[in-house]
Structure formats: C-alpha cells, structure tokens
Structure 1
Amino acid sequence: MSLNRFRVPPWRDGGLVLAACVLSACVGRYLTSTVKPVDFQVYRLGSERAFAGGDVYASWLHGLDIAPPGLPFTYPPFAALFLWPTTWFSPGFAVFSWSVLAVLCLALSLHLARPAWADGAAPWQGSASGAGRLAGFGRWPLVLAGLVLALSLSDVVNQHLAYGQINLLLMGMCLVDVARRDDTRLGRWLPRGTLIGIAAAVKLVPIFFLALFLLLRQWRLAGWTLAGAAGATAAGFAFFPEMSVRFFRTTFWGLANDVAFAPEMFASPGNVSVQGAVAFLGGPHWLGTALAALVGAAGLWCARETFRRAGLLASVVSAGVTATVITPASWIHRAVFFIPAVLILYWNGGRGQRRAAAALGAVLFCWCPSLANVLAATGQPALAPVAFVLRFAQQAAELCAVVLLTRLPQMARWTGEQPEPDPPATARRDVGRRDCRGGANRVGGRAHSAAAV
C-alpha cells in the first residue's frame, strides 16, 4: 500500500501553530483589556507625524489611547520608516495584526531553539507518513503550539501584547539572521548580519550583538551588522533629514530620561535593569552605570563561552539577555531573550540543569515586578521582605540563565551523570567557525540551518 494514502497535508502543522498564535494573541489582549496599547500607538502616531512632515522629537505624541501629557518617541528616525505599515489599517485591526505578528515571531524564535528530538522539518512542512504523530499533528508542532499558548500567560509576553511592544519582532529578526545560511539566494542578496543591523536601527539594543561578533572574531557578521545599521540609518536620514539631525545631536543623549519619565519610575520594580536596581537601593547614578558596564563585559565573556560550547544561536540568545539587563530602563516586556534562553537550558541539559531551567521558567509566570508593587503598596512590614525578593527575582533569573548557558556540556556533573566528552579547544574553534560561516548553530548536538527555518 502506498504511503501517499497516509501522507499528512503539509499545511496541517503550520495551521496548528498559526491558530495557536492567533489564539495566544487574543488571550493576551483579553487578559489585559484594561491596558491600552500605548506603545503601539506611539509607533503608529510617530510614523504618521514623520510622514506628514512633522518632527517626532519636537514634542510628545498625543492621540488614541495616549493620556495627557502624551508620550515621547524614543526610537531612531529609521523606526518611523520601518513602522510605516502600522498606519495602513484601522487602529483596531492594526493592533490585532501587530499582536499576531509578535506571537508568530515568538513561535519562530522557539522553533529556532527547538530540542534535538524535534522533527527536523519546520512546523509548516508536512510528513511523509502518519508515524510519530498525534491526532494527525507532529509532536513538535503540538509542543510548540502549547508553548505559545502557555507563554501568553507569562509576564513578559502578556505585558508585551498589552502595550503593543516591538521586542518579539526584533528578537525574531536577530535569531533568524544568525540561524540562516549564506549559501542561499536570500543569503547572497541579504547577507547574514544585515537583519540585526536593521533591528539596531529600529531600537538600539541589538547593537550589542556587534560587540559580540567582534569578540568572537566573526568579522563578516560584524561587518554586515554594521552595514545594515548604517544603511538603515542612512535611509532614515534620506526620508527625514532634519529629524535625524535632531535625534543624533540632542535626543539620543537624553533617551534614558525620556524612557523613564521620573526618578521614582526609573527605580520602580518595573525597571528590571541593573541601573534600575541600583536606583531602587538608593545608589548614585554613576554606580549604576559602572555596574551595568561590568555586567555587560561579564555577559560578553559568558556569551563567548556559550558560543564555544553550544554554538552561535545560543550565544546570541545569551548576549540578548545581557543586553536587556544593562540598558538604563528595561521594562519587563523587553526580557524576550530570556524565554529561548530558558528553553535552550531545559532542552539540552541534564537532570540538574532541567530543574534549574524549570525554576527560572517559573519566574516568567510569577509576575514578580507587578506583585512586588502590590505587596509594597500594602505598607505591611511583614510583606516587605517578600516584595524585596520579588523586586530582584527577574534580574537574578536572567543573570543565572546567562551563567548557566556557559556550562551546558558540564551541567550533568552536578547530578552525578556522566557528561558528554568535551572536544579539544582547536576542534571547538573549527566547528564554531564553520557554524558561523555556514549558518549552522549547534544546540544540543543538532544543527540549525536555513532549510529547517
């Protein structure tokens, strides 16, 4: 009997993941229906003003969902060009589409960090037979759909959808960029590193990956990242010359004040950055800056060790976690790289590492900053220690994930299990260089390639 009779339609797994993304976006928006998507409206109104000939940095934005006195546009000028499609549709449809796009980027990022047991085919590709499937769906697409739905209840994703943020889209761009190959038609027309550069021209945080590539001596990636950022910035100058001059001459230097409007907001539990933690403890500004620099340097070292042991994709995820922690103002919805970091730890570690990853993942669902605010507002001395711990839980979890990623092959020793043999340093360097040049990224002994993306 021919296997074609049992061939699974190629659209079924992809349809399952797409349906999960749409449902996740709906759940996220429903759970935070009282919160207005003010960040998305800033993107939309800022782009509208820029294309109408106005200057988005001259005054704060006012409009739908934005309460007085308004909100500032804190992004580079190219962002107004990049976000222009948000103005093409009605506000309601635009917000919904933006939420679905964000969750799709989350699903794509999780797929890139998928475990070794996952089917090598992408979730939108069919299977030649019904083997290894449940109710007609592949094992990994079912897990991926479940993860997407579960993460809609997490603090990071929920707050991201509530405010209409852009971070999941930028993370997807960065991870796709390092996971794809150069020897494809797309790779020849759009070399790897270019998308990261474009993402950095939209929001400055991804420029941290340039430092990582230089540290790893990945000159081609670093060069195309710089070229992508420069080209996108030049496009911003071409479309909005006066606005661009204002941004780089004055606005850029006061971004920290624009993002956190008041000292009490900067020091609030919602700001999970290193500088925000120092401000919460009453430390001086220079101390927060110095500690952020030290954490950034240590994070780059950890990312280099992660690269040597687990490949480029895991290294970029590690650096992404560090980048969000060291920015002056880092609200909870920016911690998107923490999600694939936890999953990489869980998929590829021994028993002890899986337990650690599960504990770190639990932080995602504890809503620590929000709960810390609630407990602190009660004024009860007995609750103060709990509020204090919750205040720093997110930062501690992210920093722990960065450190644990450097020990992926050795974590089994903590539980008495026999670790995998550690290859010689020369072999690690050779494999790592081959991975970066070819687009393959070793996570859990499996290569990610553009064919699987």
Structure 2
Amino acid sequence: MIARRPAGPPLLWGRGLDSPGITRLIAALGAVAALVFAGWLVRDAHATLPLFDLGAYRVAGERVLGGGSLYGSPLVGTTWGVFEFVYTPFAALLFGPLALLPAWALLPVALVVGGGLLVGVVWLSLIGLGQPPSRRLLALCLGLSGLLLWCEPVWETVTFGQVNLLLAVLVLADLGRDKSVWGRGALIGMAAGIKLTPAFFVVYLLVTRQFRAAAAAVGAFLATALVGAVTLPGDSRVFWAGAFADPARVGVPDHPGNQSLRGLIARVLGLGSWAQLLWLVSAAALAAAGLWLAARFTASGRELTAAVLCGLTAVVVSPFSWVHHWVWFVPLLIVLLDRALPRRGRSAWSAWLACGVASAVGCHWFFAWFAGVAPSVAGPVGAVLLAGYQNAYVWLTLALLAAAAWLPGRWRRAPAAAVDAVDAVDAVDSTAPHIPSYRRTHV
C-alpha cells in the first residue's frame, strides 16, 4: 500500500519536486523544449522522425497478415544483420495493425504513441516517488516529458519508432500495483513476451521473494508464447529453436552502437573466444550485483530505485543494446533529481549532471566530432578517450551500481535529524522503518 504523508503542508514545499516554483520552472522549460522539437519536425518531418524501426515493424505486420516468413529473410533489403525481425512471434501479431495503416499515417501515430508513452513513464516514476495525483503533478509530468524528449535514448526511441518506452510503461505499471493485487506481474510477463529483455524483472521478483507476482509473470509470458505458436506455428518453431539467440541477426558485438558490456569488451579486447568467456563471466557477476542491490533498495522501501537498477542492469548485460534501449535513464534522472533537490548534496547533483549531460549530448552525437579530433590525439590518450565516449552508458551504469552499493547503508546509518527535515517524518511515525515516509511507496 502507498504510505500516506502526515497531515499538514508538504515537508518539501518550496524546496523540492513539491515546490510550486520548481513545477512552474520545469513546466516552462519543458514547453520550450517541446516547441523546439516541433519546430524541427515542421522544417523536415522525415529527417526528424525517420521511423526506420517502425517501418520494419510494419513490414513484419504485413508478413503476418500475408503469410510470409518473419525470420527467413531481412525485413528490408537483402543484407543480414541490418533489418531482421528479432522480436517474438507474439510481437509480430501486435504489429499486424500497422500493415493496415497508410504510409503517411506512421508519423502522426509515432508522435502520439511515443509522446504518450514518455508521459506515461514520467507519470509512473513521479507516482512511484510518492507524489499524489494532482493537476500540479500533471504539469510537472508534462514539463519533465518535454525536457526528457531530448534525452538521447528517448530521442532515438521516438524518432526510430521503437518499443522501448512501451516495455518500460508495462514494467513500471506492474511494479506500481499493490503487492496484494491479483495478477500483479502479468504485465512484466507480457513485456517479456514482446521482447525478452524484461524477463530480467522476473528474476528480480524471485530474488525479492515476490513469488506470486513471479508466477503471474511466467504465466503471462507462456501465454504470449502459446498465442504465437497457435497463430504462427512455423515462425514460432524457428524463433524458439534458436533464432532468438542468434547474434548475427542483430549485428556484430563490436558495433559502435552496441552500448552494452559485451560491446565494450569486444571493442577493447576483440572478438576472441577468451573475450567471449570474459563477457559471460562479467555479465553474470554484474547481473548478480544488480539484483542484490535492487533487493536492498526494495527492502528499504525504495522500489522505484530498485526497478531502475534492474532496468539498467538488464540493458548493460544484454548481448546487444542500442542507445534507444537505455530509456531507463528517464526514471533514473527523475529519481536523482528528487534526491538532489531537497538536500542539495554534491554527490546527488554530480550524479544527476553526469547522467543528464551524457544522455542529452549522447554518445552518437560525438561520432562526427571525434572522427575529426581522434587523429590528432595519438597514443594511449586517444585510446582512452575513444573507449570513454564509445562506452559512456556502460561506464555510467557501472558507476551508478558502485554508488548504489554505498547509498542504502549510508541512509540507514544517518540519524533522522541529521539528514534533512524531510526525515523528521520518522519521528512522527515511530512504527515505520528508518526511511522518509514519503519514500515508503509501492514502486
């Protein structure tokens, strides 16, 4: 259940995300950011929103309706590893309606759906922080959505017409439900039935002993596989027989766009068998560390932070992660902003600025610039710079996991009066664990 704040004015009034002044500022900045994006769209809509992936999904939908093979040939062109269908047969069924749309309708559909899903992720993140639904919260949500539209993973998800925001909405909506609600976990299973990466959250549910939700997630996932098998039996046999694990369908591991631990190792150490073994071992260790940290935050009542850690960990240990897979930076930046505003601590603001700048400026935006600078920076310095910017999301995630390993213990040890006036709530609610009551939420 969501813990209620005690009666009286909000403890962060005038100081943090509860501040009307902060809300007005974020709403104004978000409106300007959205207008700039709209201006780019008006000048050249197809350059601003190329919708490569949405077009590929449309082709998959056409093959479903026309009886063509999903995995027997690339969706676009004849080159393997560029535009192949790498999702489940169930996902292809969901893309079927796209085949019925005229080509001109894809752009407005992408804008409405992509923008709506971004607002959904922001809204669920704010609710997960204990913010009560209100008109002020809606204004804050819309302002943050306008700003976060310029976060590189979000930008690429919207402009390519990707599904990543949908998966994040399903996961956050599921974890946001009360633990006693029947069927909690089913949306996570459905997300995994569309794309396998969210299955990592099923492991999280097991680690945190949420067995009923884990069972619901597994049941929903099996249901999506059954639907795919009944409606597309041939494609289902190909997919589950090994196509889902074929790395050649996505791209070579050392591709510059692969922002995962495997991509980092492949670019730095090569593609040998020993490098593959190193990735498997390090990915398993990192997955275990991420789950352990998520369990610690869940135990202290910070389940939104736990969900963010799980999302980031799932992406970083995945064999291939494009930049647009990192949409978990949206709730991450909101959590860090919520942490930084009331306390104005240097560590929280440093983390927020590092993640905000990296995700706004992005890795790919540096490609053209670095191609001109790199030749003039020879030797080890140039190699370090190259490894730094090409793997920025991986380095940031490793740093965040290291910081998360320190934070929960530090928060538990800090006296209620020494941290901030916010923590004085604990003195009112003597039966509560030692965490701020407005953070004892269900996400």
**Does TM-score exceed 0.5, indicating one fold?**
yes
The reply on whether 1:280 has 2:280 as its aligned counterpart is no
Tell me if the contact between 2:363 and 2:392 (Cα under 8 Å) persists in the aligned partners. yes
Residue among 288, 302, 308 paired with 1:311: 302
Cα gap change, 1:48 to 1:417, in 2 (>3 Å) = farther
Secondary structure, in 3 states, of the residue corresponding to 2:178? Answer: coil
Tell me the distance in 1 between the aligned counterparts of 2:116 and 2:90.
23
Residue among 61, 66, 73 paired with 1:47: 61
Higher strand fraction (1 or 2): 1
Cα gap change, 1:409 to 1:353, in 2 (>3 Å) = farther
The reply on whether 1:208 has 2:200 as its aligned counterpart is yes
Tell me if the contact between 1:155 and 1:333 (Cα under 8 Å) persists in the aligned partners. yes
Tell me if the contact between 1:109 and 1:340 (Cα under 8 Å) persists in the aligned partners. yes
Secondary structure, in 3 states, of the residue corresponding to 2:269? Answer: coil
2:256 corresponds in structure 1 to: 269
CA RMSD of aligned residues (A): 3.6
Residue among 303, 328, 344 paired with 1:337: 328
1:197 corresponds in structure 2 to: 189
The reply on whether 1:447 has 2:438 as its aligned counterpart is no
Tell me the distance in 2 between the aligned counterparts of 1:179 and 1:82.
24
Tell me the distance in 1 between the aligned counterparts of 2:169 and 2:280.
29
Q: Please give the TM-score of this superposition, normalised by the length of structure 2.
A: 0.78
1:74 corresponds in structure 2 to: 86
Deviation, 1:234, is 0.5
The reply on whether 1:61 has 2:85 as its aligned counterpart is no
Q: Which amino acid aligns with 2:376?
A: P
Listed as ranges, the matches of 1:432-443 within 5 Å are none
Secondary structure, in 3 states, of the residue corresponding to 2:117? Answer: helix
2:15 corresponds in structure 1 to: none
Tell me if the contact between 1:173 and 1:195 (Cα under 8 Å) persists in the aligned partners. yes
Q: Deviations over 1:81-107 (max 9, x none)?
A: 122232232223233313321222222
Deviation, 1:23, is 6.0
| Residues 146-155 or 163-172, more deviating | 146-155
2:390 corresponds in structure 1 to: 391
Q: Deviations over 1:95-142 (max 9, x none)?
A: 33133212222222212222899851255xxxxxxxxxxxxxx2x333
Q: Deviations over 1:165-214 (max 9, x none)?
A: 1100110111011112366xxx55xx111111011010000000111111
Stretches of structure 2 that go unaligned for 5 or more consecutive residues are: 1-23
Q: Deviations over 1:311-362 (max 9, x none)?
A: 3332122101100111111111100112212221220353134312232222
Tell me the distance in 1 between the aligned counterparts of 2:307 and 2:163.
18
Listed as ranges, the matches of 1:30-45 within 5 Å are 33=47, 36-45=50-59
Listed as ranges, the matches of 1:99-110 within 5 Å are 99-110=111-122
Q: Please give the TM-score of this superposition, normalised by the length of structure 1.
A: 0.76
1:352 corresponds in structure 2 to: 346
Deviation, 1:270, is 1.8
Q: Which amino acid aligns with 2:306?
A: S
1:290 corresponds in structure 2 to: 281
Listed as ranges, the matches of 1:2-13 within 5 Å are none
The reply on whether 1:239 has 2:234 as its aligned counterpart is no
Deviation, 1:410, is 2.9
Secondary structure, in 3 states, of the residue corresponding to 2:97? Answer: helix
Tell me the distance in 1 between the aligned counterparts of 2:110 and 2:72.
27
Secondary structure, in 3 states, of the residue corresponding to 2:441? Answer: strand
Tell me the distance in 2 between the aligned counterparts of 1:348 and 1:32.
38
- Number of residue pairs the alignment of both structures matches: 392
1:219 corresponds in structure 2 to: 211
The reply on whether 1:410 has 2:422 as its aligned counterpart is no
